[in-house]
Amino acid sequence: MAKLKSIIFVTGLMLLILAVVAGCLSVKYLADVLPADSYEDKGVYTFSPHQVLPVQVQNTGASGRNRRMNPTRTVYMVYYKDISGSGYQWSEQALTRELGQKIVDAGTTVERRVLSVPADRSYITVEPGQTAVSYTAGLRKKYITILVLAGLYVLLYVIAWCVTGSMKRRVG
């Protein structure tokens, strides 16, 4: 019974730390979301896959010695160019080089909406049905949901801590 209590305590504490970190990060990301009027809609473009390239990314899936020995891992990105020749590009991750090459060989085109950020001289691509308003609203909804869930867990943890503390004082 004592071992079960210690496992529950450690698990709850780890989840509390995770909730606090998730809450802090969601506040940071929520503050970084640009307002919808800072995006300029360039319209829907058709993108065609043209190459698969390996890219080195940080190895976040490993831990301890494995992360120190292998700080990066290779992922394969399928790069798309718009067929109108305006210079827009888009990329997505493929599971393997072979699957990425199959996408390129098939040549299946994809439609994406281009939203430019004139202040940064950059752009993003989103699904064709999305607009700048729906894109930013989706981001805000995601980050607010994470913040609310993290806050609820912290509140639940504090309430449980107070209840168990008062029960210990009554018994002892």
DSSP string, 44-101: EEEEEEEEEEEEEEE--S--THHHHH--EEEEEEEEEEETTSS--EEEEEESSHHHHH
The SS3 call for residue 110 is strand
Residue 5's pLDDT is what?
82
pTM for this structure? 0.77
Calpha distance 151→141 (Å, rounded): 15
Pair 117, 34: CB distance under 8 Å: yes
User: Do 123 and 114 meet the contact criterion of CB atoms below 8 Å apart?
Assistant: yes
Looking at residue 172, what is its pLDDT? 60
Q: What is the pLDDT of residue 24?
A: 96
* Residue 122 DSSP class: E
**Mean pLDDT by 10-residue block, N- to C-terminus, for the chain (172 residues)?**
85 94 96 94 95 90 78 92 93 94 94 94 94 96 97 94 81 67
Q: What confidence score (pLDDT) does residue 4 get?
A: 85
**Rounded-to-integer distance, Cα 121 and Cα 127, Å:** 21
